[in-house]
Structure 1
Amino acid sequence: MPNEHLELVWTACPPDSPAALLGGLCYGPAGETGLPEVAMARLGVPTPDLPLFSLFASRQPVEHARFGALRLWRHPDCLFAALSVEEDAYGEALSPLREASRVAYRTLFDALEKEGYSAPWRFWNYLADIHGDEAGLERYRQFNYGRQQAFADAGRSVNAAVPAACALGSQRGPLVVAVLAGREPALAIENPRQVSAYDYPSDYGPRAPAFARASVSWLDGRPQLWLSGTASIVGHRTLHAGDVAEQTRETLRNIRALLEETRRRLPEADFPLAALHYTVYLRHPEHQPLVAELLAAEVGAKLNAVYLKADVCRADLLVEIEASAGHPLVRLP
């Protein structure tokens, strides 16, 4: 039975019950909702210009607080926090994005410690011009540099027991970082088909990405699964460059491997593909029908997925899929 103290809500309407809202993000224009805005268009729908709100909600009371750019939503057992950071504020740094990333993560780590939810379960990261050059290094690699520096500065491990995460390129706008955290740590899960991201060779940048392939958290003794952004990578190399169909199939093989590894590590976290709620990021909008068809063929009639236009972290990747399970999904008009 899914845990009903944490619900995922997908809606094109602004939230009208803030008392139950446990935080979230808006893909598209957020208006006056106060939620962080990520410039990504929804794909495969008749009205792609409408905003898409990805929200967590709870049947238990939630408290909301705002400290400058930092927004916090407190649940008795978990917390959602998010902030938007303008890189221009660090224009004098060698890499404004690297410094903005470091500051964003330190701000969130400090907030989690202060609020008593010191265990991050899952991070979301969105940055503009992800493949652009900044101070002689790709911007995604500058982001990884700043993120890892913040982990180290906060005394947190960068190569074990790290949270799940994604990092995608938005069309414009500030750096947006959000986290779902709890009072008890999640179990980090790695994919036996892949080199752990934190062990990537230096070919991928001077600082490795700091995330686990998946994590499992608990509420009321029930597991929730958080799959990181997953793509067509085996070992540490991209496979099927230029072929979105094969990249999608390879991504699904990696998701299956993660589900199998999760069951091996934690038998009670037995989630089939059809139990997952998917977010699919696509570099090229015209690929959406084909990817949706392949995903439906693999998952079946119970597929729940949204599709967003985004730049995946590697320039040779065309599709990335993240997912979660163990909590109800609510769809609103």
Structure 2
Amino acid sequence: MPLNKAVLAAFKAATRLRPDIKDFYEAQRFAEDIMARMAIPNPRCRIDEAHAVMPDGYEVPLRVFTPLDFDFSLANGLKVCEDSRGTVLFFHGGGWVNGNVDFYLDACTTMAIKLERRVVSVDYRRAPEHRFPQAPEDCYETARQLFAGNLLPDVDPHNIVLFGDSAGGNLATVVSLMARDRGTFSPRTQMLLYPVTYNDHAFTTSWFDSVRDNGEDYLLSWRDIEGYMDLYQASPADRSNPYFAPLLAPDLSGMPRTLMLTAEYCPLRDEGEVFAQRLADDGNDVACYRILDAVHGYLLYPPVFSIVRDTYRIMKHFLDDEELKQEGEPAWLGLLGTD
């Protein structure tokens, strides 16, 4: 499905004018902080602050988004109550370097309302100040405490969903791997949106055609991904670690029920779909969809965009274990035998 020519031209110009991410990430953080201040609170969602204490004493900030239901009657007036069917533990994207809970405030608010679930957003420590494996260890320990009932008093561990986009999708499935390997808790469900799963995104050496097809003109370039990985790794040897690149894990059995969502014009598209197939081949319950006419990072778009609406529709059907049917013009491709 071709993108609008004017939009594509804008994407190409923005991608090719962007400086090296290793020189630019601090300026990008500054811009993201300014954009985050423009977020307008939504009365349908309550936002609270919390934290998780790490083994080294550091307090990882958390932001908790609780969807609200409003009921008005002449007899009883306005009644506000929580409208949550579970908890989503969310790990934000940004190449392990950019992004934070402030920048994702609108996205997490929309997520809580659309999915009818409380969202706990994790402000894990970022590279290059804190390189691998700090981010996955922060996320793992936060998840461990949430599953143990030590963070929020009313969380049902059976209804906790791990979710992340981009580098956050990497962290979500790495937390699942860590939990399986360490035997500490058992996530039942994970959702991965255009995740990073492999360790090589160079134009000439990558295994994946989407790196070459989509790695130059669609906002996130292959150079960006390689730059982020250079900032994230503590040493080149880290790239061979499955907790860095989960597609390298020799065994993916015993993983949670998984929803994989990729974007048609994303350089990470193919590795996400191959990872989904690996999960399925190793005996896991997997659904995989490719969102058509979408580029990397679209979760941050306003919910009026059809690709955002379709994504939340797919997620909600997956979480509610309901049949999903295509309506009107194709908006997504179902893979791994899904409709």
The TM-score with structure 2 as length reference comes to 0.33
- Flag the structure with higher strand content: 1
* Structure (1 or 2) with the larger CA radius of gyration: 2
- Flag the structure with higher helix content: 2
